[in-house]
Amino acid sequence: MLLSILKRVAISIVITLVVAVILVFSQRTKPMSGEGGLDFSRQLASGDGAVAPLQSIPMRDGYDLQVRTYGGADNVPLLVLVHGSGWHGMQFDRLGKALQGSADIIAPDLRGHGTAPDRRGDIDYIGQLEDDLADMIAAVVKPGQKVIMGGHSSGGGLVVRFAGGEHGSLLDGAVLLAPFLKYNAPTTRQDSGGWTRVLTRRIIGLSILNTFRISALNHLPVIQFNMPQAVLEGNLGDTATLVYSYRLNQSFAPRSKYLDDVAALPPFVLLAGGADEAFFAQEYAPTMGAVTDKGRYELMTGASHLDIVNDPRTIAIIKAFLDEY
């Protein structure tokens, strides 16, 4: 009897793994049209003198993380700014300059991203982005200094993930700019409003394999970003990361039970635009407020998903939040 049961279990596992592999290889990347993509060109243009230069901070594995810094003043918190998917820390150049009297600001090019071609690509394991952020904080934080982490879009999702992970105790506060919570969260429009193409079957197959601790295929691409053709043909297109592997995509978002990560957030302020093309701004407060009372929610009338970063109202709200630290 026991042998028969074990045989059936083994057959079920084999069938499940075969189905998972079929799902993985039943979808592939394809050229994107550029229609409906998000145009970062206005946001990435500094508009205020030279862009802050890149500096290097070594990570635990010897990788040189590229960062930009914006000096603060005495007795101010450290503000870490995490860029959105596909881009890099230069998207915060104007915001960093506007806030530099209120905090010591650092904006990294997350691993797998950056203006240099050799900086773009993949990461080594799920969770590596969190480890890099923790290493970076340890390298620059002053004794007794409060740590605030802010992020835009997927960068905001990474802040939420960081808060719910093993390094979450490092944070004293968070600034969330239209954060990505999860593909199935009430806040998310279909395909993030046309910004992404998700290889859903492949993700399902890889998720099944990872349940069995099979990670050999985690390097395969699972999401593409739809960049407008005008951006791709310009200099900014040369700095974009247009495809994410499974492990990079998983590392850049809250975990499957995303509300558990939300519940772990420190005191935070969340800003979202009423004209956001990727997310439903009005859904943040009821969705997140159901699991935490530590948040303040600011709906910015007329602001789009990208323009919220440099909106004067955003700068004023973040300054007021930083003053509390």
| CATH assignment of the domain containing 53 | 3.40.50.1820
Domain total for the chain?
1
Please give the pLDDT value at position 92: 94
Asked if 82 contacts 159 with a C-beta cutoff of 8 angstroms, the reply is yes
Quick check: is 291 in a domain?
A: yes
pLDDT by 10s per residue, the chain, length 325:
777 788 888 899 999 999 999 999 999 998 877 666 666 666 665 456 688 899 999 999 999 999 999 987 889 999 999 999 988 999 999 999 999 999 999 999 999 998 777 777 889 999 999 999 999 999 999 999 999 999 999 999 999 999 999 999 999 999 999 999 998 999 999 877 777 889 999 999 999 999 999 999 999 999 998 877 656 555 555 677 889 999 999 999 999 999 999 999 999 999 999 999 999 999 999 999 999 999 999 999 999 999 999 999 999 999 999 999 9
Q: What phi and psi, each to the nearest 5 degrees, are found at residue 253?
A: -140, 160
Quick check: is 26 in a domain?
A: no
Q: DSSP assignment of 87-130, as one string?
A: --GGGGHHHHHHHTTTSEEEEEE-TB-SSSGGGBS--SSTTHHH
Residue in the structure block whose two tokens are 């240099």: 116
SS3 at position 264: coil
pTM: 0.93
Please give the pLDDT value at position 232: 59
Asked if 174 contacts 266 with a C-beta cutoff of 8 angstroms, the reply is yes
Reported as type and span, the H/E element at residue 12 is: helix 2-25
Neighbours of 117 (CB within 10 A): 9
CA-CA distance, 42 to 21, in Å (whole number)? 42
State the distance between the two ends of the chain, measured CA to CA, in whole angstroms: 65
Quick check: is 16 in a domain?
A: no
Quick check: is 150 in a domain?
A: yes
Quick check: is 74 in a domain?
A: yes
SS3 at position 59: coil
Quick check: is 140 in a domain?
A: yes
Quick check: is 303 in a domain?
A: yes
Q: Give the closest residue to 230 by CA, choosing from 41, 30, 31.
A: 41
Range of the domain at 295: 35-323
Give the type of residue at 99: L
CA-CA distance, 259 to 172, in Å (whole number)? 19
Q: Starting at the edge strand that comes first in sequence, how are the strands of the sheet with 221-225 ordered?
A: 196-198, 221-225, 243-245
Q: Give the closest residue to 245 by CA, choosing from 113, 67, 133.
A: 113
Q: What phi and psi, each to the nearest 5 degrees, are found at residue 80?
A: -95, 125
Q: How many residues does the chain have?
A: 325
281 Cβ neighbours under 8 A, 6+ residues apart: 178, 187, 272, 273, 274, 299, 300
Quick check: is 28 in a domain?
A: no
Asked if 207 contacts 183 with a C-beta cutoff of 8 angstroms, the reply is no
Q: Which residues pair with 279 in a beta bridge?
A: 188
Give the type of residue at 81: L
